[in-house]
Amino acid sequence: MQDLLELAVGATASGCVYGLVALAYLLVLRPTGIINFAVGEWAMVGAFGGHLLLSRYEWPYAAGMAAVVAFLCALGWLTERIAVRPLVERGAPVLAAVLALLGVLVITREAISVSFPPDPLPVPYAFGIQYQKYFIIGVTLAVFAAAWVFFERTVAGRSFEAVALNRRAAALMGIDLRRVSALSFAGGAGVAGLAGLLVSPNVSAHYLMGVPLAIQGFTALVVGGVGRVEGALLGGLLLAFAEQLTIRYAPIPGGYAQGVPLLFLIMFLVFKPTGLLRSRI
Amino acid sequence: MNLVRFAGSFLVLAGAAFLLSDYHNDVYRKMLLWVTLALGYNFLFGVCGQVAFSHFAFYGIGAYSVVILLFQLHVPLPLAMVLGVAICAAVALAVAIPATRLEGFYLALATLALAQLFVVVLNEGGELTGGTGGLANYRLPPVFGWSLGGPSYTAVIVALLLGTYALLVRLDRSWFGRACRAVRDNPEAAAAMGVDVARIRVAAFTVTSALAGVAGMVYAFVDNTVNPPIFGLENAFLLLFMVIVGGAGRHAGAIVGAVLLFLLPFVLSPLVGHHHVLVFGVLVVAAILFQPKGLIGLFNGRS
């Protein structure tokens, strides 16, 4: 029983991280239609920011966390300005932006691998190893609550939804598409960086940590459905529980456990590509 | 491509191999294989508009299946080659039917997951795939009494490249190629013109993936070793970058991109060490932003 409870808490915490990455995808995807595979690398940058500020310069945790999120928001904003906006203004297909962001992914990863030693680098816990899981769960719930309030209860949030539904009509209603797009990239990068910072004490900051997170986050997004914010969290939790339970109880060799999220993703894409939660509209 | 030009190109490209030193011959062969892969991938991504990351995994399936058939199951060479092609085509078809139903990025993600899954299976395959170390220390058995090695094996690769090129050019100029371009540019309009969109997508995916598998079978005897890291995601990305930088949708673009990005690390390594991938990333973003038709688009305006 104790064992099962620990497994449940652990799975909930990793599900929260997947959910945050899925939310980072969703924030960019809804208003712009762009799937941004670079979110995994943004999470990786967040982990390295945590290492730099909290381990090397020993900032207080709250200040370091705020600085990392602020830096990531700036990075997301900059990415949108440099790699995405020129394409959107030229009227290039969405695919061009997705491919440009793949280039950004590679640039980000290589820039980090050039600047830091190749070994995994430590990132401190917020309050100590035994509380980290609860900290992750708490922060994630706060982020999702904030996102829900923003999209459902504020005018600015509703304008994001309007852009997601119909760009042209939204623009005609006086919504500034460029501002929405820039803010969505900044927000997505901030959330992704937070996910990276939260998960990094357990896995250490490493320049290859991005792609697995990007795939797990995307799986969570596909499971939950791209229509609603809470779908991202639900998808993340389901994926994490499926993963943990398979590792614990299924009679397969340990290495194959890495394949579980991949199989989960393929099955959902093929059989239920709309996800579990349907869009409200 | 008529027969005379085909034979001429073969003589020039294969003849070059006999003038090169062993080291340069090795580099030359790998370049030819990358060009072959880029040509096939260009047809899938550039001509038919499908962003799939499974192309390199099929290269790996071809390489592993021929090695396993020959040296684990002791199948004779001609049969192993036929079976290898059959396996690649069957797997490609089995993947293509559900995968090509997916819209846009979902296909990219499903094939990305598939490519990752392939590496997991290779690592966990135990005796059959040799696990993380892969399979090594085998030799190509004599073909009709000839033992192919050194430059004469390079001639095999040249034949593979030219055969792939000839097939893809012919496909591209047929109704099939036009249907692929129509599906890429506007699936609804293509369907309205009587093109069976799903069937075209499945056929393009299967043909190009099977071609990648055949290239993989040839690759298996270049280094005489196959192991999981070779077939990882890094190279799948590199292939995509080659086609984008060279110019998606045109065979010459794929060739230029593959040659450039393959040779660039040799030029760059004295300057940036192992960080040439950083330069690739910058090149890709720059190509998409400033030169969407790729390098080949600089020469003339035909698309």
- The string of DSSP letters for B71-99 reads IIS---HHHHHHHHHHHHHHHHHHHHHHH
pLDDT of residue B151: 82
- Gap between the Cα atoms of B226 and A50, Å rounded: 39
Indicate the pLDDT class of residue B32, thresholds 50, 70 and 90.
very high
Scanning chain B, the segments in alpha helix (DSSP H) are 3-19, 22-41, 55-67, 77-99, 104-124, 151-173, 175-185, 187-192, 197-219, 233-246, 251-272, 276-290
Cβ pair B277:A106 closer than 8 A = yes
**Which candidate in B54, B284, B290, B293 is best for mutational testing of the A interface (most A CBs within 10 A)?**
B284
Q: Token pair for residue B266?
A: 């040799």
Indicate the pLDDT class of residue A175, thresholds 50, 70 and 90.
confident
Cβ pair A98:B284 closer than 8 A = no
**Chain B partners within 8 Å of A94 (Cβ):** 104
From its phi and psi, is residue B99 left (phi > 0), alpha (psi between -120 and 50) or beta?
Answer: alpha
In this structure, the dihedral spanned by the alpha carbons of residues B113, B115, B117 and B118, taken in order and rounded to 10 degrees, is: 170
**Chain B partners within 8 Å of A78 (Cβ):** none
- Selection from A205, A203, A193, A192 nearest residue A232 by Cα: A192
pLDDT of residue A33: 85
Higher pLDDT, A227 or A60: A60
What letter represents residue B250's amino acid? R
Please tell me which of the candidates A86, A98, A111 has its beta carbon nearest to residue B278.
A111
Note the Cα A36 to chain centre separation in Å: 10
Quick check: A228 pLDDT over 70?
yes
Higher pLDDT, A202 or A42: A42
Do residues B287 and B276 lie in contact, with contact meaning Cβ atoms separated by under 8 Å?
no
Indicate the pLDDT class of residue A265, thresholds 50, 70 and 90.
confident
Domain boundaries, given as residue ranges, for chain A: 13-207
Please, what is the angle between helix A210-224 and helix A259-271, to 10°? 30
H or E element that contains B54: none
The mean per-residue pLDDT over the stretch A246-263 comes to 77
Q: Token pair for residue B212?
A: 């990648």
pLDDT of residue B300: 67
pLDDT of residue B256: 93
The mean per-residue pLDDT over the stretch A101-126 comes to 90
Residues 6+ positions from B208 with CB-CB distance below 8 Å: B40, B41, B43, B44, B55
pLDDT of residue B1: 56
Quick check: B206 pLDDT over 90?
yes
Helix (H, G, I), strand (E, B) or coil at B204: helix
A16-30 confidence digits (pLDDT tens) = 999 999 999 999 988
Helix (H, G, I), strand (E, B) or coil at B216: helix
Quick check: B149 pLDDT over 80?
no
Of the candidate ranges A194-208, A256-270, B247-261, the one whose mean pLDDT is the lowest: A256-270
Higher pLDDT, B140 or A253: B140
pLDDT of residue A278: 61
Cβ pair B113:A215 closer than 8 A = yes
B219-252 confidence digits (pLDDT tens) = 999 988 999 988 888 889 899 999 999 988 899 9
Indicate the pLDDT class of residue B145, thresholds 50, 70 and 90.
low
pLDDT of residue A25: 93
- Selection from B274, B261, B232, B280 nearest residue B31 by Cα: B261
pLDDT of residue A144: 95
In this structure, the dihedral spanned by the alpha carbons of residues B147, B151, B154 and B156, taken in order and rounded to 10 degrees, is: -40
- The string of DSSP letters for A29-78 reads HHHH----TTHHHHHHHHHHHHIIIIIIS---HHHHHHHHHHHHHHHHHH
> Between chain A and chain B, how many beta carbons pairs sit less than 8 Å apart?
104
- Selection from A235, A212, A218 nearest residue A16 by Cα: A235
pLDDT of residue B106: 79
Q: Is A70 on the interface with B (CB under 8 A)?
A: no
Distance from CA of A255 to the nearest CA of B (A): 6
- Gap between the Cα atoms of B110 and A261, Å rounded: 12
Cβ pair A255:B124 closer than 8 A = yes
Cβ pair B277:A110 closer than 8 A = yes
DSSP code of B222?
A: T
B136 DSSP β-pair partners: B225
Please tell me which of the candidates A94, A253, A269 has its beta carbon nearest to residue B109.
A269
Helix (H, G, I), strand (E, B) or coil at B303: coil
Q: Is A164 on the interface with B (CB under 8 A)?
A: no
Indicate the pLDDT class of residue B163, thresholds 50, 70 and 90.
very high
A95-113 confidence digits (pLDDT tens) = 889 889 999 999 999 999 8
B58-96 confidence digits (pLDDT tens) = 999 999 999 999 988 888 888 998 999 999 999 989 888
Quick check: B160 pLDDT over 70?
yes
From its phi and psi, is residue B278 left (phi > 0), alpha (psi between -120 and 50) or beta?
Answer: alpha
**Average pLDDT of chain B to the nearest whole number:** 88
pLDDT of residue B301: 54
Please tell me which of the candidates B105, B116, B289 has its beta carbon nearest to residue A87.
B289
Q: Is B159 on the interface with A (CB under 8 A)?
A: no
Distance from CA of A147 to the nearest CA of B (A): 25
Note the Cα B54 to chain centre separation in Å: 10
B174-204 confidence digits (pLDDT tens) = 999 999 999 999 989 999 988 999 899 999 9
- Gap between the Cα atoms of B300 and A171, Å rounded: 37
Higher pLDDT, A131 or B37: B37
pLDDT of residue A166: 82
Cβ pair B281:A253 closer than 8 A = no
**Which candidate in A32, A102, A213 is best for mutational testing of the B interface (most B CBs within 10 A)?**
A102
Quick check: A281 pLDDT over 60?
no
- Gap between the Cα atoms of B302 and B287, Å rounded: 17
pLDDT of residue A38: 92
pLDDT of residue B303: 44
Quick check: A187 pLDDT over 50?
yes
Complex-level ipTM: 0.85
The mean per-residue pLDDT over the stretch B31-47 comes to 95
- Percent with pLDDT over 90 in chain B: 45
**B-proximal residues of A, 86-105, CB under 8 Å:** 86-87, 92, 94-96, 98-100, 102-105
Give residue for tokens 């962001």. Answer: A101
pLDDT of residue B86: 93
Cβ pair A270:B110 closer than 8 A = yes
Quick check: B43 pLDDT over 90?
yes
- Selection from A68, A27, A25, A19 nearest residue A183 by Cα: A27
**Average pLDDT of chain A to the nearest whole number:** 88
Quick check: B25 pLDDT over 80?
yes
Distance from CA of A258 to the nearest CA of B (A): 7
- Gap between the Cα atoms of A188 and A45, Å rounded: 13
- The string of DSSP letters for chain A reads -HHHHHHHHHHHHHHHHHHHHHHHHHHHHHHH----TTHHHHHHHHHHHHIIIIIIS---HHHHHHHHHHHHHHHHHHHIIIIIHHHHHHT--HHHHHHHHHHHHHHHHHHHHHHS-SS-B----SS-TTTHHHHHHHHHHHHHHHHHHHHHH-HHHHHHHHHHH-HHHHHHTT--HHHHHHHHHHHHHHHHHHHHHHHHHHH-B-TTSHHHHHHHHHHHHHHH-TT-HHHHHHHHHHHHHHHHHHHHHS-S-GGGGGHHHHHHHHHHHHH-TT-SSPP--
pLDDT of residue B59: 95
